[in-house]
Amino acid sequence: MILDAHGHVGTWPDFLIPDPTAGGLVAAMDRIGVTAMGISHLLAVGPDAGRGNRLAREIAERHPGRFGVWQVYNPHHRTPLSRDGVWGVKLHPDVHQCRLDDPRYDPVWELGLPVLSHGQTDSPWSDPEQFATVAARHPDVPILMGHTGLWPSGFARAARLVAGHPNVFLEVCGSKSTGRWIARLASLAGGTGGLRLGRLLPRPQDRLWPRRPGSPRPR
């Protein structure tokens, strides 16, 4: 079973998404063997977190077993958060222009669910150094660094910064994450004690995968 940690549905103004529908995403998942994907709706990342989160839940309900929901939190709007029926919380500090280590994200860390955050090397909002800061503050919260800092020039630095924080996972979503770079990161992960690399969700999976009664448990 393959669980993809980082996906989106919907459209975005800055780049073309040829098929932004859930049906198109399911078809692509079937072609490459992905069992389920964690999604956030791009409407939620952008102007309307509340409505976008509701749309993401509706999509997950229409495609049982194929999508988990990352509920988006906008720190300026104090988006309501839930513990039920979600994989965790999605943050995008760059879109919201609020540093990952800002106290306005405290309701997210207090919730205690896994957090997937956009990461971007040299960004004032989401540089990997901020992941190390929040990981130290909240060692019991699993944190996925989206895109491993985005820019290949910063991949190795991102890995070094969080190597001592076993609750941080390097998430390699992105067109710049070539096979060669993923192999380098895997090699680096093998040589550092606490570093974890993967596109898959970290264990414990029960915490990340809300199951229907009688449904199989991911392995």
- Predicted pLDDT at 141: 97
Structure token digits, residue 100: 């990952």
Looking at residue 167, what is its pLDDT? Answer: 93
Q: From CA 59, how far away is CA 6, in angstroms rounded?
A: 15
Predicted TM-score of the model (pTM) = 0.87
pLDDT for 219 equals 35
Tell me the pLDDT tens digit for each residue of 113-146: 999 999 999 999 999 999 999 999 999 999 999 9
Q: Looking at residue 186, what is its pLDDT?
A: 78
pLDDT average per 10 residues of sequence, the chain (219 residues): 92 91 96 95 98 98 97 98 96 98 98 97 98 98 94 91 91 84 77 49 38 37
